Amino acid sequence: MVNISELMNHKNRLKHRPSANDTIELLDDPDYVVIPLEYPGRILYKPTVKIGDQVYKNQIIGKSPLGHCIHASISGIVRDILAIWTANIFHVPAILIQKNDQPALNTDQVFEQADTSFEKASTIEKLKILGVISPWNRPGRLQKEDEKTFPSIEKIVIKAFDEEPTIAIGDLILRNFTDKIIRGISYLKNLAPQAEMTLVISQYLADWGTLNYSAYTSVKTVSSEYRDRLSQLVVSKITGVNIPTSSAYRTHGIAVISVEYLLNLVDALDGHRPFISKFLTLSDSGNGEYRTFKFPLGTTIRQLLKAANITDRSFPEIIVGGPMQGITQYTDLTPLTKTSHGLYLKTKTDVSAETNLTCQNCGKCSRICPLHLQVHLLGRYAEYGMFKEAVDLHPEACLDCGLCAYICPARRSLVQLIQMCKKYGGLVDEFPQQQAECGASSALERWELGFQDATELDSRPVTSSTD
């Protein structure tokens, strides 16, 4: 059982702590990448390449039904296309590319793939072709262009902060890319000249942020408290609009974009490069130090840890994200994607020996919930399969912030239980179920074993496949 001192220690950990190191470490192209054909809105890309093809860095290798593109982050040979488990626990097809020394495509060549040119493409087309999702759109399957029923964009919120206590991407980008962010603000003003724009930054950067950005946009701050940094609540407070969790910002005339996505928007509209690399904060519960990396998309966790000289594999839990909302991975061969903002390594002393104990009905979970949900009841409804009853308690409003699970003395998996209420209560859409495989027989394990003998891999006959 957890004592009071441990709970207080956990409470202190919920505060966002600035990174003491402004350095961004650049990772070289790995020997291979694994690129899942899925993006944040859970729409699948259709591959535009096949096994055995030579692909080039920046090349379009997949397109979604809405015309968004995904690109090769390295040059190499397509060695396989097979379903894997992503970091977000979706079972989707992925493309395995083995690196070689072929040159990257330039922007003109990328647009030739899309049967247009940079000069002829509209702003939205440029973003789609170069892999940047427009901030004007609703997420995922709900996303439609030029929807006449949508209100015009009246408010734009630029997020330069991270929710998770152990992720510091927003702060570092804000300090390292001032000129580029200002250029991005100018682009947003041209796209929505009537919109009221706000840059939201961490409180400790208030003076510096006001000095550098207040001439271009309104600047607001958020405290270091985790509860005060939850995006849905911050956006509602900044805009003065009450936004239900199940509702998209866009349907309220609001566009929200992170500073990292703003950098990629600038690269796309300047015609520099597609979205093929990502920032990530690496931290562990032992020393509390942060390191920030920029890596090619599709780099595996193992490759990143090796590049960071962390090879002893003494961490019992590897979490993509942070300690509050992140997802523990069953293998360090999971590829890192556009939604991988952090990598949190739990030490043995930070892992509780007792988890998922019986609910004590103490009510801590319900009292800490930012939306005042009856979390203790939702958890028990899920345990006993009473999903129809759970719907009446509105599990769809859950922010997945993780505060309930973090405070629970019984260490119950409350976020997952509420997600079950959403799923089996018919409140969310799911991909069609596919045959899944894990462990040593999974595609990720087989691919990694194959690359342990590069000579053998290079000598394999190329497998042919149809589109």
* Domain-located, residue 430: no
Q: Do 153 and 263 have their domain in common?
A: yes
Q: Do 21 and 50 have their domain in common?
A: no
Tell me, what DSSP letter sits at residue 322? -
Residue 465 pLDDT > 90: no
Q: Do 100 and 168 have their domain in common?
A: no
pLDDT at site 147 = 55
pLDDT at site 127 = 94
- Taking the CA atoms of residue 117, residue 123, residue 128 and residue 131 in that order, the dihedral angle to the nearest 10 degrees is 90
Residue 6's pLDDT band, with cuts at 50, 70 and 90, is very low
* Domain-located, residue 233: yes
d(CA 278, CA 340): 8
User: Taking a C-beta distance cutoff of 8 angstroms, is the pair 157, 192 a contact?
Assistant: no
* Domain-located, residue 137: no
Average pLDDT in the 272-281 region? 97
Residue 145 pLDDT > 60: no
249 residue type, one letter: Y
User: Taking a C-beta distance cutoff of 8 angstroms, is the pair 39, 86 a contact?
Assistant: no
Domain boundary among 209, 234, 269: 269
* Domain-located, residue 39: yes
Q: Do 47 and 97 have their domain in common?
A: yes
Specify the number of domains making up the chain: 4
Burial class (CB in 10 A: 0-12, 13-18, 19+), 119: exposed
60-63 and 155-159 strand pairing? unpaired
Q: Do 175 and 229 have their domain in common?
A: yes
Q: Do 257 and 345 have their domain in common?
A: no
* Domain-located, residue 11: yes
Average pLDDT in the 308-325 region? 85
Please report, for the domain that includes residue 9, its CATH number: 3.10.20
Residue 288's pLDDT band, with cuts at 50, 70 and 90, is low
Q: Do 92 and 169 have their domain in common?
A: no
Average pLDDT in the 368-377 region? 92
d(CA 304, CA 335): 10
Average pLDDT in the 414-428 region? 84
d(CA 128, CA 64): 10
Q: Do 263 and 183 have their domain in common?
A: yes
Please report, for the domain that includes residue 84, its CATH number: 2.40.50.100
Residue 135 pLDDT > 50: yes
Q: Do 257 and 291 have their domain in common?
A: no
* Domain-located, residue 77: yes
Q: Which run of H or E residues covers position 197?
A: strand 196-202
426 residue type, one letter: G
Average pLDDT in the 320-342 region? 93
Residue 11 pLDDT > 70: no
Domain boundary among 351, 382, 413: 351
pLDDT at site 357 = 80
44-63 pLDDT per residue, tens = 889 999 999 999 999 999 99
Lowest-pLDDT range, 102-111, 236-245, 421-430? 421-430
- Residue 39: closest CA among 285, 339, 323, 403: 339
* Domain-located, residue 327: yes
Q: Do 65 and 89 have their domain in common?
A: yes
- Residue 406: closest CA among 348, 287, 325: 325
76-85 and 91-99 strand pairing? antiparallel
E strands, 270-384, in order: 277-284, 290-296, 317-320, 327-328, 342-346
Residue 464's pLDDT band, with cuts at 50, 70 and 90, is very low
pTM assigned to the model: 0.84
d(CA 278, CA 299): 10
* Domain-located, residue 164: yes
For 417, the domain range is: 364-424
User: Taking a C-beta distance cutoff of 8 angstroms, is the pair 352, 359 a contact?
Assistant: no
Average pLDDT in the 60-87 region? 93
Domain boundary among 351, 382, 401: 351
% of residues, the chain, pLDDT over 90: 60
Angle, to 10 degrees, between the axis of helix 259-269 and the axis of helix 169-176? 50
Residue 457's pLDDT band, with cuts at 50, 70 and 90, is very low
Q: Do 300 and 245 have their domain in common?
A: no
List the helix and strand counts (H, then E) for the chain.
16, 19
Q: Do 154 and 260 have their domain in common?
A: yes
Q: Which run of H or E residues covers position 82?
A: strand 76-85
Q: In what order do the strands lie in the sheet with 155-159?
A: 218-222, 196-202, 155-159, 254-258
User: Taking a C-beta distance cutoff of 8 angstroms, is the pair 431, 388 a contact?
Assistant: no
d(CA 41, CA 142): 8
Burial class (CB in 10 A: 0-12, 13-18, 19+), 461: exposed
